[in-house]
Amino acid sequence: MERRDFLSGGFGAVGSVGAAGAVGAIAGLMPGIASAQDLPTVSWRLTSGFPKSLDTIYGGAEQFARIVETITGGKFKISVAGPGEIVPGPGAFEAVQKGTVQCAHTAGYYFLNVNKALAFDTTLPFGMNQRQHNAWVYQGGGLELLRELFAQYNMVNFPMGNTGAQMGGWYNKEIRSLEDVKGLKIRIPGFGAEIWQRLGAAPVNLPGGEIAAALRDKKIDAGEWVGPYDDDKLGLPAVARFYYYPAWWEPSAALSLYVNKAAYDALPAPYKEVITVATGWVNQWMMAAYDSRNPAAFKKMIGSGTRLQLFPNTFMIAAYRAGFSIYDAEAKVNPAFKKIYEPWKRYRAEINEWHKTAEAAMTNFLGNWRAEG
Amino acid sequence: MERRDFLSGGFGAVGSVGAAGAVGAIAGLMPGIASAQDLPTVSWRLTSGFPKSLDTIYGGAEQFARIVETITGGKFKISVAGPGEIVPGPGAFEAVQKGTVQCAHTAGYYFLNVNKALAFDTTLPFGMNQRQHNAWVYQGGGLELLRELFAQYNMVNFPMGNTGAQMGGWYNKEIRSLEDVKGLKIRIPGFGAEIWQRLGAAPVNLPGGEIAAALRDKKIDAGEWVGPYDDDKLGLPAVARFYYYPAWWEPSAALSLYVNKAAYDALPAPYKEVITVATGWVNQWMMAAYDSRNPAAFKKMIGSGTRLQLFPNTFMIAAYRAGFSIYDAEAKVNPAFKKIYEPWKRYRAEINEWHKTAEAAMTNFLGNWRAEG
């Protein structure tokens, strides 16, 4: 048998396991022979919904592009653009849907005007913490439900980053009771804003970069962003005294990579796996980055006169009740919301029953006893 | 210029950016041309330190092998073996060190006989929870410190999996005070055993598979393993009534992939990045898997008569003090331990100050208020 015949015979014999498997088998038998199926050169554009000044959150997309390029030996390149460079931040969803860009790094809860069910991609007030959200998407059926939703918009979604539990923001008056919420002009978007409004506040939405000036000029009484590291970059500690916690509207906030479906479908299997694994890496990296950068920023603020305050429990409970009543109402009129909400709510209840034992007891003990103590 | 000359000229011109970059540039200019630098076929063996019956923890190595093979189009294959198939579980460290296998999936705290500093790779009693450990290794300087330590043993280490905070185990008598600890025969290994012993207990070490029989035959009074999902697989709920929490000796437990240094150094850059990213993926996957599988196992136990009990605070505090006194003593005689212990302790204190605000408050609230409530 001539060498050519041997090779084609070999491919035929293992054809049923797919091209990648066949290449592996041949290469294993005959080391040194170049792989027959060379992977294509691919160039993509990614639009990030986050300002470049926020290195942790914007940096996630850069990490992703670097990993994809390194693993593929430079064959799959992704160029990362900030908001406004290709499309503005709020245009990211449509840009992916229509194929203007191949992918975007943003968060579902910025697009509630498209469908309120997109909130499950990020978080809902009193939803899940970071560990719980990860468990739900990766192993609890969450990703499958979200993929069905995003398919309607011509996209494939991948979790890519999380901020953890956020701080409740910066206030120039104290929140001692529900009475103090009435009339409060607070910068807050999304479902959180709906809940504050139901409790009597006057929520407004502003881009992150405008919060500090609005607080300084007393156009708002309070404003929230993410947590110590990012809030410091936005100049918030200088314009408000009270730093409240926790942001019950963001028990964690997950970010995602949205990929245009046609662009994704055109990729060979190894590149698809690269996207899954690289987005997963960034998902974990960003949480580690926030967890490593927040402590020093937090310490600095507390040392510079910021007054740390816990939201009163009566306020938390009232907000909790308002939240689930808003979700129940949405589920009645929005089948896409209902389809995710019901299994999400069951999953959330069961994981909380478990996490309140060892995990919570340990974390609380560690928080209260210092190594020096 | 002939086509051949053009190609070699092309490589020469961009040679300074490295082989991978050059391949990308050429392919970008001339789409469809096969990459000149084909990646090699590589076959590795991985020995797992965990029994195949524990699908979450053993499954991590299988996930890793699958990802590496898929991303490389079948060129980089890793065959996964259980304990005893190549070497027994306790032989994994030496097998990687000597190059008997290219890599092992195990945990540093199984090898305290080699160096107690290896505990930092996994956890120490009253150490960090899963988020904190991840933050420390990936972004807080931990991995660099651990890499220096592992280089002494001819290895490169990669975080690859975590169990989260573990349960404190199964008891046939109640622990109401420090008096109840005296003389208690408990199955527990490592630093945890040292602390129990200092408080008056009589710790013994047994392989996971022998705990249930020893409890049933009253050879031990208590035994701990991981948490509901794995403990159920080992048959522990049937042989003891009280399920205590938290395992203060395992506020999280990180697993790692140990790679023989020569094998790692021989890999091309894209394969090195594949290992970093695939181990990171499994690190996150395993936590999500435990978080998704534990709740149902936990619910089943509680519904079948298991009595859930919180360790008394006096016991926790006494154990905490004993632990740090043991670490301080070790740091005095073991420079490798001291070198990691000091920055680890500082990092731990600072991240706890931060995590006890928004993260703890949110998690505690979510644990105490149910969606139905």
Can you give the CATH number for the domain in which A177 is found?
Answer: 3.40.190.10
Residue A368: per-residue pLDDT: 81
Mapping DSSP to helix (H, G, I), strand (E, B) and coil, where does residue A80 land? Answer: strand
Residue A18 has pLDDT above 60, yes or no: no
Give the chain B residue whose CA is nearest to the CA of A70.
Answer: B270
Query: In B, which residues are within 8 Å of A34 by CB distance?
Result: 34, 38
Residue A32 has pLDDT above 90, yes or no: no
Q: In angstroms, what separates the C-alpha of B72 from chain A's closest C-alpha? A: 7
Is B18 within 8 Å of chain A by CB? no
Has residue A314 been placed in a domain? Answer: yes
Phi, psi (degrees; rounded to nearest 5) at B189: -100, 175
Has residue B367 been placed in a domain? Answer: no
CB spacing of B298 vs A70 below 8 angstroms? no
CB spacing of B134 vs A284 below 8 angstroms? yes
A59 with A140, same domain: the answer is: yes
* pLDDT tens digits, one per residue of A72-83: 999 999 999 999
Question: Residue B367: which of A295, A360, A369 has the nearest Cβ?
Answer: A360
Q: Token pair for residue B93?
A: 């460290």
Q: Which of A33, A72, A283, A363 to mutate to test the interface with B (most CBs of B within 10 A)?
A: A363
A201 with A233, same domain: the answer is: yes
* pLDDT tens digits, one per residue of B281-327: 999 999 999 999 999 999 999 999 999 999 999 999 999 999 999 99
pLDDT classification of A370: cutoffs 50, 70, 90: low
- Mean pLDDT on B119-130: 98
Burial of A71 (0-12, 13-18, 19+ CB in 10 A): buried
- Rounded distance, CA B218 to CA B241, Å? 13
Residue B62 has pLDDT above 80, yes or no: yes
B34 with B153, same domain: the answer is: yes
- Rounded distance, CA B371 to CA A198, Å? 19
| Residues of chain A above pLDDT 90, percent | 84
Q: In angstroms, what separates the C-alpha of A196 from chain B's closest C-alpha? A: 17
Q: Which of A362, A368, A372 to mutate to test the interface with B (most CBs of B within 10 A)?
A: A362
pLDDT classification of A23: cutoffs 50, 70, 90: very low
CB spacing of A25 vs B351 below 8 angstroms? no
Give the chain A residue whose CA is nearest to the CA of B323.
Answer: A371
Cα angle A208, A210, A211 (rounded to 5 degrees) comes to 70
CB A48 within 8 A of CB A83: yes
B103 with B245, same domain: the answer is: no
Question: Residue A280: which of B168, B281, B293 has the nearest Cβ?
Answer: B281
Output the CA torsion A136→B135→B68→B17 (10° steps). Answer: 130
Which residues are paired to A246 by β-bridges?
none
CB B51 within 8 A of CB B283: no
Query: In A, which residues are within 8 Å of B355 by CB distance?
Result: 291, 363, 367
Average pLDDT of the residues of chain A? 89
Q: Give me the residues of B, 94-153, that contact A with CB < 8 A.
A: 126, 128-132, 134-140
- Mean pLDDT on B40-61: 95
- Mean pLDDT on A207-224: 95
CA atoms within 13 A on the CB side of A169: 25
Q: Which of A359, A364, A372 to mutate to test the interface with B (most CBs of B within 10 A)?
A: A359
A135 with A28, same domain: the answer is: yes
Phi, psi (degrees; rounded to nearest 5) at A115: -165, 125
Residue A371 has pLDDT above 80, yes or no: no
Has residue B366 been placed in a domain? Answer: no
Q: Give me the residues of B, 61-80, that contact A with CB < 8 A.
A: 67, 69-75, 77
Has residue B143 been placed in a domain? Answer: yes
Residue B17 has pLDDT above 60, yes or no: no
- Mean pLDDT on A146-167: 98
Residue B125: per-residue pLDDT: 98
CB spacing of A73 vs B130 below 8 angstroms? no
Is A338 within 8 Å of chain B by CB? no
Q: In angstroms, what separates the C-alpha of A293 from chain B's closest C-alpha? A: 9
A151 with A176, same domain: the answer is: no
CB spacing of B245 vs A358 below 8 angstroms? yes
Q: Token pair for residue B25?
A: 């540039």
Q: Token pair for residue B132?
A: 């904190």
Query: In A, which residues are within 8 Å of B320 by CB distance?
Result: 365, 369
Has residue B356 been placed in a domain? Answer: no
- Rounded distance, CA A270 to CA A279, Å? 14
- Mean pLDDT on B147-153: 98
CB spacing of A24 vs B308 below 8 angstroms? no
- Phi and psi based region of residue A370 (left: phi greater than 0; alpha: psi -120 to 50; beta: remaining): beta
CB spacing of A298 vs B357 below 8 angstroms? yes
CATH assignment of the domain containing B142: 3.40.190.170
Out of A228, A262, A292, a domain closes at A292
A51 with A72, same domain: the answer is: yes
Question: Residue A38: which of B35, B245, B247 has the nearest Cβ?
Answer: B35
Has residue B371 been placed in a domain? Answer: no
Residue B27 has pLDDT above 90, yes or no: no
Is A24 within 8 Å of chain B by CB? yes
Sequence-separated (6 or more) residues with CB below 8 Å from residue A304: A237
Sequence-separated (6 or more) residues with CB below 8 Å from residue A226: A57, A163, A166, A167, A253
Query: In A, which residues are within 8 Å of B137 by CB distance?
Result: 288
Q: What's this model's pTM, rounded to 2 decimal places? A: 0.90
- Mean pLDDT on B158-177: 97
B100 with B224, same domain: the answer is: no
Phi, psi (degrees; rounded to nearest 5) at B42: -130, 135
- Rounded distance, CA A322 to CA A194, Å? 9
- Rounded distance, CA B175 to CA B180, Å? 5
pLDDT classification of A193: cutoffs 50, 70, 90: very high
Total domains in the fold of chain A: 2
Residue A107 has pLDDT above 60, yes or no: yes
Has residue B297 been placed in a domain? Answer: no
Is B329 within 8 Å of chain A by CB? no
* pLDDT tens digits, one per residue of A282-320: 999 999 999 999 999 999 999 999 999 999 999 999 999
Is A192 within 8 Å of chain B by CB? no
Query: In B, which residues are within 8 Å of A247 by CB distance?
Result: 358, 362
Residue A38: per-residue pLDDT: 78
Give the chain A residue whose CA is nearest to the CA of B20.
Answer: A73
B155 with B226, same domain: the answer is: no
Comparing CA positions, the residue from A138, A206, A136, A208 lying closest to residue A166 is A208
Cα angle A184, A187, A193 (rounded to 5 degrees) comes to 80
Give the chain B residue whose CA is nearest to the CA of A165.
Answer: B359
Q: In angstroms, what separates the C-alpha of B185 from chain A's closest C-alpha? A: 22
Q: Give me the residues of B, 215-244, that contact A with CB < 8 A.
A: 227-228
Has residue B119 been placed in a domain? Answer: yes
B81 with B137, same domain: the answer is: yes
* pLDDT tens digits, one per residue of A50-63: 989 889 999 999 99
Mapping DSSP to helix (H, G, I), strand (E, B) and coil, where does residue B161 land? Answer: strand
Sequence-separated (6 or more) residues with CB below 8 Å from residue B353: A295, A298, A299, A367
CB B195 within 8 A of CB B125: yes
CB B105 within 8 A of CB B61: yes
Question: Residue A73: which of B24, B294, B320 has the nearest Cβ?
Answer: B24
- Rounded distance, CA B20 to CA B35, Å? 10
pLDDT classification of A154: cutoffs 50, 70, 90: very high
Is B43 within 8 Å of chain A by CB? yes
The 3-state DSSP composition of chain A as helix, strand, coil percent (nearest 5) reads: 55, 15, 30
Per the structure, the complete domain to which residue B90 belongs is given by 3-162+254-292
Residue B367: per-residue pLDDT: 84
Distances (CA, A) of B295 to A34, A54, A361: 49, 36, 16
Amino acid type, B135: A
Q: In angstroms, what separates the C-alpha of B183 from chain A's closest C-alpha? A: 25
CB spacing of A348 vs B371 below 8 angstroms? yes
Comparing CA positions, the residue from A23, A168, A2, A362 lying closest to residue B74 is A23
Sequence-separated (6 or more) residues with CB below 8 Å from residue A146: A120, A121, A137, A157, A340
Size of interface A-B (CB pairs under 8 A): 325
Q: Give me the residues of A, 243-282, that contact B with CB < 8 A.
A: 245-248, 251, 268-270, 273-274, 276-278, 280-281
B157 with B195, same domain: the answer is: no
A185 with A322, same domain: the answer is: yes
Question: Please, where are the H alpha helices in B80-209?
Answer: 92-98, 130-139, 142-151, 190-198
CB spacing of B369 vs A126 below 8 angstroms? yes
CB spacing of B361 vs A39 below 8 angstroms? no
Question: Residue A360: which of B139, B348, B364 has the nearest Cβ?
Answer: B364
